[in-house]
Each structure stands twice: as structure tokens, then as C-alpha cells.
Structure 1
Amino acid sequence: MVSGVAGQPSEDGAAGNERFGVEVRGDSGTAVLALTGELDHDTAEPLRRALADCVEAAPERIVVDFGDLEFCDSTGLNVLLRARLSAIEAGCGLELAALRPPVARMFDVTGAHAVFTVYASLAEALADRRPT
């Protein structure tokens, strides 16, 4: 699991606690937020802060990598939806990659998948350079 104090980045750009972590990295106009663990009401603050920091930096696009995220509840979904609106206002895209089945199901059931560009993998997301 990613180390660091909840919501405070460590030296390697990671933030989180023992149940959830977010690592932020970027290159050539794309910020990638790699999520691990369980995203819920009790663990959402590090993601909220990381997304706000990314939006403030205004990269061309933000890609959230769900490849190692095991669970996401409605709190996590709301954080992402709000961040999407902030990203649009800042002129950058917010995209999702590698949704695992339990998380993908929540996006499908709520219809939230329709408002995001969703990629099967992080590699696919990074290879797609279309404007968002």
C-alpha cells in the first residue's frame, strides 16, 4: 500500500493511509493519479486534495488509474464528478483508466460512465492523444 500520512504527499508524490493511496505522477501535459486500496467516505480526502492540486496545475489532461483500486463507493464517485467539473472549468480533461469489475459496475449502474472518457487500461489512455 502507498505510504504517507492521509492527505499529505510523501517524498515520492504519494498520499494515503493503510486502506487507500494515491500516487501522482506526470509527463508531457498528462497527470496520472494511480489509486490503490479502498476509496470511500473515510478515505476520500487524499484523492480530493490530489485532484484539486492537479486541476490547479492545469495539465492538458488528468488520467485516474483504477488498476489497483479494489472498491469505490458513492463518496469516491462524487469526488470524481466534482473534480471533472473543476477540470472542465480549468480547461483540462479528466479521464478514467483500468476500472476493475466492482468499480466499473458502480459507474455503469449510476450512469456515471457516460460523462467520463473511460479506457480499458492506463497504457491505452496514455496512447490516446485525442483532445478531451
Structure 2
Amino acid sequence: MDRGMVGSASKGRLHVEVRRHGVSSVVSAAGELDHHTAELLREPLEACVRDGDARVVVDCSQLEFCDSTGLNVLLGARLKAEAVGGSIHLASMRPVVARVFEITGAGAVFTLHDTLDSALAD
């Protein structure tokens, strides 16, 4: 399977990598997703959608924190992807991040996966 690295970026408390895996793009976020770092995730998500990636999987396994700004980045990317027939999937959320999605009800609008492997297998 193709697991080619497309790009990566860091800004203080957040590191983002993008790689291809078959027909999916995998965007991995590690660290804290908040008001100060959200743009670092927004840009590659929107680029994947703009480039016509039908399926984008966000690997949340190393995401330690997500505030409302981070949640809005993910929701915005989902809307843009769906507008062009694509989808955003979230994989491997830690309990602290999953709680934000549970409290806000945002988990109901995403396809959630326990592991990255299960997200890529679907």
C-alpha cells in the first residue's frame, strides 16, 4: 500500500503530517489543536478537499487537546468535503478529545473509527 508522505508542518504545540494511503489522504495531528494552532490543520485539510481527495482520514491518536476552534476547523472541512462529494473520517480519538465531540454532539456528524487501520479498511 502507498503510504507516501506528502508534507508536514509544526507550529509550537501542534505537528501535522499529510500522507497518501491508497485512495485516502491521512492527516495526522499531534499535540494541541486550539485557537493558536488551528490554521496549521485547516490548511492541509482544505488542500486535500481542493485537490479532489474523496476521503480524508484525520488520525487523532496523538491529539492531546481540542478546543472549540479546533472543532470548528474539523466541522468546516467536513462541510467543504461533503459539498464536493467527499468525506472526513476521524480515527483513534483519545478520551479527552472524544469528550469534546460527545459534549457538543459533533461526533454524530462524523464517521468515527476506533483505529486508523479500521478507518483505512472501510
Tell me the TM-score normalised to structure 1 length: 0.86
Q: Which runs of 5+ in 1 are unaligned?
A: 1-10
Kindly provide the amino acid, as one letter, of the partner of residue 100 in structure 2: M
Q: Count how many residue pairs are aligned between Structure 1 and Structure 2.
A: 118
Residues 1:34 and 2:9 aligned together: no
**Is the CA contact 2:6–2:19 (under 8 Å) kept in the aligned structure 1?**
no
Deviations 1:66-96 (A, max 9, x none): 0001000000000010110000112111110
Kindly provide the amino acid, as one letter, of the partner of residue 55 in structure 1: V
Please state which structure has a larger fraction of its residues in strand.
2
Residues 1:57 and 2:51 aligned together: yes
Once the two structures are aligned, what percentage of the paired residues are identical?
A: 53
Match of 2:40 in 1: 46
Residue 42 of structure 1: SS of its match in structure 2? coil
Of 77, 80, 105 in structure 2, the residue corresponding to residue 86 of structure 1 is 80
Match of 1:20 in 2: 14
- CA RMSD of the aligned region, Å? 1.2
Structure 1 residue ranges (4+ consecutive) displaced by more than 4 angstroms after TM superposition = none
Give me the whole-angstrom Cα distance separating, in 1, the residues matched to 2:106 and 2:96.
Answer: 14
Offset of residue 17 of structure 1:
1.5
Give me the whole-angstrom Cα distance separating, in 2, the residues matched to 1:106 and 1:16.
Answer: 23
Offset of residue 12 of structure 1:
6.1
Give me the whole-angstrom Cα distance separating, in 2, the residues matched to 1:29 and 1:59.
Answer: 8
Kindly provide the amino acid, as one letter, of the partner of residue 104 in structure 1: A
Match of 2:101 in 1: 107
Kindly provide the amino acid, as one letter, of the partner of residue 29 in structure 2: L
